[in-house]
């Protein structure tokens, strides 16, 4: 983990990209005090989620994400220095993620994981969660910090046909304590947090994520 790269990504690159694209952040509630060593999870529906996440915490954290993202010009340079990358087609690579995460946690940093299995489907509000984030949190008895991004799916979707500029609302949910939990609790914890995040997306008064799905469903075929 290169803390200088994290500082650049958080304080220079992310705000420059977001502002340059016409977005600004609107936090809907207060966030927990800065602390080290937690597992941060959020819904994932846009390329800008990563920039947005960098702006959420001042304390350095490390992403766990796809190795393919390191191929993106400039972004990939920063990303591979602020992330544990994984080749999902390789069981050996997936195994090494946990070894790398152990080293990061021992240094007092947090881990950020977007836990959805397939987040590129514009028709799905919140896909099923992989278990890795929750297994990691329980193994190390770390609290889980769930965050909700309400607007990215509508304003800058994977397929940018219907995007537009404006505020990006972010909400922090209560920290989830994993002390005393064991491997038997992984599935229950994963399902509970999936339901909580999905319920918040469904109850959003602006319904931007739901509207994004409807627009994609009703798009005119070319």
Per-residue pLDDT tens over the stretch 47-85? 899 999 999 999 889 888 666 666 666 666 666 666 777
Smallest CA-to-CA distance from 149 within 54, 69, 46, 60 is with 46
CB atoms within 10 A of CB 121: 14
The dihedral over CA atoms of 218, 166, 46, 107, expressed in degrees to the nearest 10, equals: -160
3-state helix, strand, coil split of the chain in percent (to 5) is: 45, 20, 40
- Going along the chain from its start, the domains and CATH numbers come out as 3-217 (3.40.1130.10)
Phi, psi of 196, rounded to the nearest 5 degrees:
-65, -45
pTM of the model: 0.89
Which of 112, 165, 143, 116 has its CA nearest to residue 35? 143
Q: Name, of 80-84, 105-109, 124-128, 216-220, the range with top average pLDDT.
A: 124-128
| pLDDT, tens digit (0-9, with 9 covering 90-100), for 172-214 | 999 999 999 999 999 999 999 999 999 999 999 999 999 999 9
pLDDT of residue 75: 62
Cα(34)–Cα(31) distance, rounded to whole angstroms? 8
pLDDT of residue 222: 43
What is the C-alpha end-to-end distance of the chain, expressed in Å? 45
Rounded CA gap, 8 and 14, in Å? 8
Nearest 5°: CA angle at 150, between 194 and 87?
A: 60
With CA atoms as reference, report the closest residue to 142 among 58, 86, 62, 28.
62
Tell me the pLDDT tens digit for each residue of 153-164. 999 988 767 889
Average pLDDT score, the chain: 87
């Amino acid at each position: 983990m290169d803390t200088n790269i994290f500082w650049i990504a958080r304080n220079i690159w992310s705000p420059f990209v977001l502002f340059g694209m016409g977005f600004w952040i609107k936090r809907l509630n207060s966030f927990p005090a800065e602390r080290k060593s937690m597992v941060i999870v959020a819904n994932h529906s846009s390329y800008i989620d990563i920039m947005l996440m960098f702006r959420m915490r001042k304390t350095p954290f490390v992403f766990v994400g796809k190795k393919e993202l390191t191929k993106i010009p400039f972004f990939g340079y920063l990303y591979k220095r602020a992330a544990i990358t994984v080749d999902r087609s390789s069981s050996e690579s997936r195994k090494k993620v946990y070894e790398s995460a152990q080293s990061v946690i021992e240094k007092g940093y947090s881990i950020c994981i977007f836990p959805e299995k397939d987040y590129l489907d514009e028709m799905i509000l919140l896909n099923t969660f992989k278990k890795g984030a929750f297994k990691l949190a329980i193994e190390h008895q770390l609290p889980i910090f769930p965050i909700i991004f309400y607007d990215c799916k509508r304003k800058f979707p994977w397929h940018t046909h219907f995007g537009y500029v404006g505020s990006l609302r972010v909400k922090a949910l209560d920290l989830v304590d994993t002390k005393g939990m064991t491997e038997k609790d992984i599935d229950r914890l994963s399902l509970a947090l999936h339901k909580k995040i999905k319920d918040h997306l469904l109850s959003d008064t602006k319904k931007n994520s739901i509207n994004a799905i409807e627009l994609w469903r009703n798009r005119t075929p070319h």
